[in-house]
Amino acid sequence: GENVEQHPSTLSVQEGDSAVIKCTYSDSASNYFPWYKQELGKRPQLIIDIRSNVGEKKDQRIAVTLNKTAKHFSLHITETQPEDSAVYFCAAIPTSGTYKYIFGTGTRLKVLA
């Protein structure tokens, strides 16, 4: 069935450095790829998303890139700040008749001051 692999599971960076989280999906028909941020004890919230007709999308310090040929997409956070510390989940949405979001296993990002 559909599968999304997410790496790394934990990531520590110094404040001001960049962080990159990568996800690989299995269903080549997937066409929507959101990224969610979950702070400790809070609900997941969308931070950025990308559709399959776009290769890159940016929103201030956050960017997502999509490589449809290789079936992977990545989240890039530049100039990291302590408030970026959270768990990040990627997801892929197959178009093969299912209505389910396939989430990655999450990446715990720690930004060290």
Partner 1 sequence: NAGVTQTPKFRILKIGQSMTLQCAQDMNHNYMYWYRQDPGMGLKLIYYSVGAGITDKGEVPNGYNVSRSTTEDFPLRLELAAPSQTSVYFCASSHRVAVSSYNEQFFGPGTRLTVL
Provide, rounded to whole angstroms, the least separation between the CB of residue 82 and partner 1.
21
Q: Should residue 105 be labelled a site residue for partner 1 when binding is judged by CB under 8 A?
A: yes
Per CB under 8 A, contacts with partner 1 among 5-64 are 31-32, 34, 42-46, 49
CB 64 within 8 A of CB 46: no
> Which residues are CB-contacts of 58 (< 8 A; sequence separation ≥ 6)?
none
When binding is defined by CB under 8 A, the residue of 25, 73, 88, 89 that contacts partner 1 is 89
> Which residues are CB-contacts of 50 (< 8 A; sequence separation ≥ 6)?
32, 33, 56, 57, 64, 65, 66, 73
Q: Should residue 104 be labelled a site residue for partner 1 when binding is judged by CB under 8 A?
A: yes
Provide, rounded to whole angstroms, the least separation between the CB of residue 6 and partner 1.
9
Which among 104, 84, 98 has a CA at the least distance from the CA of 33? 104
Amino acid identity, residue 91? A
Number of residues that bind partner 1 (CB under 8 A): 19
Site residues for partner 1 per CB under 8 A: 31-32, 34, 42-46, 49, 89, 93, 95, 99-101, 103-106
